[in-house]
């Protein structure tokens, strides 16, 4: 359901409209978003038809009543809609954090570089044939705060993309942006271990902001404070303030690379939609 057909207050009874659409075999979904009810449909033509039907029902031209005793129509919201890819990313991030804490051998399978033990510690070496390593560092989280911070933003931003554009879109987007942000970090600081979803999260941010700029939708409507905070945090990290404060080094290239990847992928998606007339 990619098109917003109608938006009404929470106390507005949409059951007559929902029953009418169901009776006519019109695929639709009703969700609660930002304190309002939103009717979603599959395409722009259907959205226009729903708007026309609603106007005719509101004017009394078409009448359908619902008895109080009738069961209400279920209205799933974005918060309760099953979002398998977003949930999978959270679970894998938790498992990655557990590997960092409890299993060096397990962690070594997901790092970009191979970890080879030597007498005085370990050395890192490239693994050119193990392509999964280009992506899997996104699941490695070094510490509880790292995991919680990235988990919250994965849920807040990733679920918006999955809810609006589908699970497959989020999955492909996550893999592509994860690879791009990881390779950016490898290029900028070769020979160093790194990990976390931060690069992908900044890709989510760039993607959502660009889509919202050119194709506004309630699902991508972020409070300005969130965008300002995340961009300010990116600047603070790149300026080196986190290291000055003793918070450790940050994968700045992954953050910036992810942001760029998100913007580019959003512009590409918009261009494809324009070319195909969607």
Of 31, 93, 181, 198, the catalytic one is: 198
Annotated active-site residue 28? The verdict is: no
Q: Helices 198-214 and 224-238, interaxial angle, to 10°?
A: 140
Q: Which stretch of DSSP H or E encloses residue 53?
A: helix 44-58
- Calculate Rg over the CA atoms of the chain: 23
Of 66, 67, 83, 91, the C-alpha closest to 31 is 83
Q: Tell me how far apart the alpha carbons of residues 116 and 63 are, in angstroms, rounded to a whole number.
A: 74
Q: Tell me how far apart the alpha carbons of residues 154 and 173 are, in angstroms, rounded to a whole number.
A: 13
Of 149, 147, 129, the C-alpha closest to 139 is 147
Count of CB atoms situated within 10 Å of the CB of 186: 21
Q: Tell me how far apart the alpha carbons of residues 8 and 196 are, in angstroms, rounded to a whole number.
A: 39
Of 54, 141, 146, 255, the catalytic one is: 255
Burial of residue 218 (number of CB atoms within 10 Å: 0-12, 13-18, 19+): middle
- Edge-to-edge strand ranges of the sheet holding 3-9: 3-9, 36-41, 29-33
Annotated active-site residue 77? The verdict is: no
Contacts of 188 (CB under 8 A, 6+ apart): 252, 253
Which active-site residues does the annotation give? 198, 255
């Amino acid at each position: 359901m990619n098109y917003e057909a109608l938006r009404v207050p929470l106390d507005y009874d949409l059951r007559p409209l929902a029953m009418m659409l169901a009776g006519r075999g019109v695929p639709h979904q009703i969700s609660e978003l930002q304190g309002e009810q939103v009717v979603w449909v599959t395409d722009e033509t259907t959205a226009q038809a729903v708007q026309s039907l609603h106007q005719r029902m509101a004017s009394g031209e078409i009448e359908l009543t619902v008895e109080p005793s009738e069961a209400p129509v279920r209205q799933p919201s974005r918060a309760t809609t099953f979002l398998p890819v977003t949930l999978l990313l959270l679970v894998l991030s938790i498992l990655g954090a557990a590997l960092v804490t409890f299993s060096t051998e397990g962690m070594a399978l997901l790092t970009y570089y191979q970890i080879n033990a030597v007498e005085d510690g370990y050395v890192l070496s490239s693994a050119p044939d193990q392509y999964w390593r280009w992506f899997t560092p996104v699941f490695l989280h070094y510490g509880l705060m790292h995991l919680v911070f990235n988990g919250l933003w994965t849920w807040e931003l990733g679920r918006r993309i999955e809810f609006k554009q589908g699970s497959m879109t989020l999955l492909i987007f996550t893999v592509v942006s994860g690879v791009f942000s990881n390779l950016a970090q490898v290029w900028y600081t070769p020979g160093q271990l790194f990990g976390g979803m931060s690069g992908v999260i900044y890709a989510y941010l760039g993607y959502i902001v660009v889509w919202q700029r050119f194709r506004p939708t309630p699902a991508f409507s972020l409070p300005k404070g969130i965008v300002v905070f995340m961009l300010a945090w990116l600047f603070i990290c790149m300026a080196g303030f986190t290291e000055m404060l003793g918070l450790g080094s940050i994968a700045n290239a992954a953050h910036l690379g992810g942001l760029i990847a998100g913007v580019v992928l959003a512009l590409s998606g918009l261009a494809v939609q324009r070319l195909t007339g969607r």
